[in-house]
A and B are shown apart, each in its own frame.
Chain A
Amino acid sequence: MSAPLVLLRGAGEPSPAAGHTLLSRRVRVVPLESPAPAAAPESILRAIEQLGLPTFSLLASGSMSGTALRVAVTAPERIDAIVLETPTAIDEEPAMRELATPTLLLYGTRDPATPAVGRRLAGILPNAHLVFVYDAGATIAADRPEAFAEVAGDFLERHEAFVISRSTTVIHP
């Protein structure tokens, strides 16, 4: 069973996309609006504690990904897994190189601008997994909802073991 998923959103970000709604069928999704991308990790952690979530996973998009990683390095013991959708412009912190938390980095193949950040992040975070979502732009959960929910849900449930296929090729038993 996956830990509850805190969907970390920036102030004024659009409502959750179709992919987030689909994901909520597999895991409890708790949206949390952060006052600013630069909000202190401690205040975000306090807010999550007040929601009654001692351990949780984190989902963030774009520039909120940096916030999510700062939260994770502040309290790694509370974080089960991290999913970052199109992470951009991360300020690297030395603690990130020690972060053992399984982290999924998602990029759309129609988004040419950002994979360089993803490659760098994949090199920094010791337990990161880079996945390209075919035919999605930067807003993966909106562009390919089913594909997004499947890979994010599988990762939240199985962490790095999500690389082992569970699909069957049996056609007729």
Chain B
Amino acid sequence: MKVSFFETVRYVSPQPLPSEWPAPSGAYDPAAGSAAYRGMLERLEYVEELGFDWVSVSEHHYSPRILTPSPIVTAAFIAARLRRITIALLGPIVPHSNPVRVAEELAMLDTLTQGRLVVGLLRGTANEALTYDLNPQEARERTDEGMELILKAWTEPRPFGWQGRHFQYRMVSIWPRPLQQPHPPTYALGTSRESCEFAARHRLGCGVSYGPFEVMAKATRYYREACARHGWTPKPEQIVYRANMLVADTDDEAHALLKAQPNRAPFEMRKGVRDAVSALDARNIAGEARTAVVTGALPTTFIGSPDTVVEQVRRCREVVGAGVLDLSLHPPGSNEVEPLMRALELFGRKVLPRIRDL
């Protein structure tokens, strides 16, 4: 089992912030932001020392919750400071990006990091369509086309034009190309049938997140079946499961911490907006419809003492089939950095060495 630390850049606000997304930009405190990024570096040096395989960064906008609107900038900065750890860029939000630019930047990053890059490509959470004025109804199609264009830009040796539905280029010929050939290990992130099919067709990995094991297993099973239809079998490390983990000295302590967590959606939109976006942005798990917007806190699927968590990881490995765990270790309900550092230490000492060989 490979283990990845999901870095969100802890921003500790000096004042209470409204929960609605987007957070007002004027409430941002530059000094708190500066401390958050400094804290990120210190934390990641520790993460590397503890022996994590990957550090992952993601793309989210207009919110203090995950302070990395540009994951590529974050990844480049981290990569320059850390020596061994693999940088997992999970990932650029494809539908509102320029896919050629993404292909160029990732190729550059792969080369700058001497091949320490893995990439996840995704549609993004429902609120992200609003960030750059994207029609939510077109998000799925733009994601599929954009991902295909990124792969083509990485691998096509001749200058080429792209006559797409949503993207058009008459001349593409990127320099540099990725160091890892034909391209960095790449995952299509998402539980949808479309995402799994895409991954299977292009021999990519698959990434699922946050849902209970049995539910995520529907998607990973669908993915493996789709791969079989395309005549290949994915390796365990081609399935990533991102989840919240709440590890404490005892089960009781962990559950008490979870109880203290406010049941707040990660990117809570005004009701009229939320309902309208949900209606336009169809989502599914291996073909079964699900709502586009998370209305409560994301589930914490690993919770308890180190012993309990190790057992849960074992079950996850069996049920979901994931060979990589991408963990958000931040204790819910706290904005402080200290509890995260304690959780990190506990995980690093008492859990990480025991799940390596699962």
A130 touches B152 (CB 8 A): no
A132 touches B161 (CB 8 A): yes
Tell me which residues across on chain B come within 8 A of A162, comparing CB atoms: 170
B171 touches A163 (CB 8 A): yes
Q: Which listed residue (B157, B162, B165) contacts A132, Cβ 8 A?
A: B162
Given A162-B170, A163-B171, A165-B170, A134:B148 Cβ within 8 A: yes
B160 touches A130 (CB 8 A): yes
The reply on B159 being an interface residue by CB < 8 A is yes
Q: Which listed residue (B149, B157, B162, B167) contacts A131, Cβ 8 A?
A: B162
Contact with A along B134-172 (1 / 0, CB 8 A): 000000000001001100100011111111110110110
Tell me which residues across on chain B come within 8 A of A150, comparing CB atoms: 163
Tell me which residues across on chain A come within 8 A of B165, comparing CB atoms: 134-135, 147
Given A147-B165, A151-B161, A162-B170, A135:B145 Cβ within 8 A: yes
Contact with A along B203-242 (1 / 0, CB 8 A): 0000000000000000000000000000000000000000
Report how far A122 CA is from B160 CA in the complex, Å.
10
Which secondary structure dominates chain B's binding surface? mixed
Chain A's closest residue to B148 (CB) is A109
Q: Which listed residue (A106, A123, A135, A165) contacts B158, Cβ 8 A?
A: A123
Given A109-B148, A109-B152, A163:B161 Cβ within 8 A: yes
Tell me which residues across on chain A come within 8 A of B170, comparing CB atoms: 129, 131, 162-165
Question: Which chain A residues numbered 134 to 173 have a C-beta less than 8 Å away from chain B?
Answer: 134-135, 144, 147-148, 150-151, 162-165, 167
Chain A's closest residue to B162 (CB) is A132
Q: How far is the CB of A82 from chain B (nearest CB, A)?
A: 15
Report how far A71 CA is from B260 CA in the complex, Å.
79
Instruction: Count residues on chain A whose CB falls below 8 Å from chain B CBs.
Output: 24
A129 touches B161 (CB 8 A): yes
Tell me which residues across on chain A come within 8 A of B152, comparing CB atoms: 109, 132
A134 touches B145 (CB 8 A): yes
B158 touches A119 (CB 8 A): yes
Tell me which residues across on chain B come within 8 A of A79, comparing CB atoms: none
Report how far A164 CA is from B171 CA in the complex, Å.
9
Tell me which residues across on chain B come within 8 A of A144, comparing CB atoms: 163
Q: Which listed residue (A115, A131, A165, A167) contacts B163, Cβ 8 A?
A: A131
The reply on A60 being an interface residue by CB < 8 A is no
How large, as a class, is the contact surface on chain B? Answer: 10 to 19
Tell me which residues across on chain B come within 8 A of A64, comparing CB atoms: none
Report how far A93 CA is from B145 CA in the complex, Å.
36
The reply on A6 being an interface residue by CB < 8 A is no
Tell me which residues across on chain B come within 8 A of A133, comparing CB atoms: 163
Chain A's closest residue to B159 (CB) is A130
Q: How far is the CB of B320 from chain A (nearest CB, A)?
A: 31
Report how far A34 CA is from B63 CA in the complex, Å.
64
Contact with A along B301-321 (1 / 0, CB 8 A): 000000000000000000000
Q: How far is the CB of B159 from chain A (nearest CB, A)?
A: 7
Tell me which residues across on chain A come within 8 A of B163, comparing CB atoms: 106, 131-134, 144, 147-148, 150-151
Chain A's closest residue to B151 (CB) is A109
Tell me which residues across on chain A come within 8 A of B148, comparing CB atoms: 109, 134
Tell me which residues across on chain A come within 8 A of B145, comparing CB atoms: 134-135
Report how far A63 CA is from B158 CA in the complex, Å.
22
Tell me which residues across on chain B come within 8 A of A118, comparing CB atoms: 158
Given A163-B170, A163-B171, A165-B170, A131:B161 Cβ within 8 A: yes
A134 touches B164 (CB 8 A): yes
Q: How far is the CB of A157 from chain B (nearest CB, A)?
A: 13
Tell me which residues across on chain B come within 8 A of A147, comparing CB atoms: 163-165
Tell me which residues across on chain B come within 8 A of A106, comparing CB atoms: 163
Report how far A85 CA is from B161 CA in the complex, Å.
14
Chain A's closest residue to B157 (CB) is A119
Q: How far is the CB of B132 from chain A (nearest CB, A)?
A: 14
Q: How far is the CB of A142 from chain B (nearest CB, A)?
A: 15
Chain B's closest residue to A147 (CB) is B163
Report how far A134 CA is from B143 CA in the complex, Å.
13
Chain B's closest residue to A136 (CB) is B163
Supply 7 further A-B pairs (C-beta < 8 A) apart from A134-B165, A163-B170: A119-B157, A129-B170, A130-B160, A132-B163, A144-B163, A148-B163, A163-B171
Query: Could you pull out 7 A-B pairs where Cβ atoms are within 8 angstroms?
Result: A109-B152, A119-B157, A130-B161, A131-B161, A134-B167, A144-B163, A151-B161
Give 8 nearest A-B pairs by CB, closest first.
Answer: A131-B161, A134-B164, A163-B170, A133-B163, A130-B160, A151-B163, A147-B163, A122-B158
